[in-house]
Amino acid sequence: MIATTYCYAEPEDREGFERVEGILKRHDGEVLPVFLYCSEEEAARRVSNADRTERKKIASVESLNSFRARWNIVPVPRSNCLALDTGAMPPDATAHEILRHFALLQNS
């Protein structure tokens, strides 16, 4: 299993996404897309977290607003795309919901 983050922008990323998806399918892989989002207020609160600067991510509300104005960030256009509001649940619950939704939980 490979897990990766990808901020999908429509229509700019469609061709590249479909290319990767095709490669995976040819090798018996599959894409399990998840769209994580939160309210604008929550995003503005989070964007100034110190660790974002360390990881070279957007770290100001101004930069976030500029990014959002430039890119149409949306869920991947696939019927199996799971959309979760990360402002409504803690990270561990979000991760558990992804595992549950895609039947990735292993019985222990």
Domain residue ranges of the chain, discontinuous segments joined by +: 14-101
The string of pLDDT tens digits covering residues 47-69 is: 988 888 888 899 999 999 999 99
What angle (nearest 5°) sits at the alpha carbon of residue 46, between those of residues 86 and 82?
20
Specify the amino acid at residue 101: H
Alpha carbon distance 100, 39 (integer Å): 24
User: From start to end of the chain, where are the E strands?
Assistant: 34-37, 82-85
User: What integer pLDDT is reported at residue 6 of this predicted model?
Assistant: 85
* Whether the predicted pLDDT of 73 surpasses 70: yes
Bridge partner residues of 35 (DSSP): 83
The sign of the torsion formed by the CA atoms of 51, 54, 57, 59 equals: positive
In sequence order, the β-bridge partners of residue 37 are 85
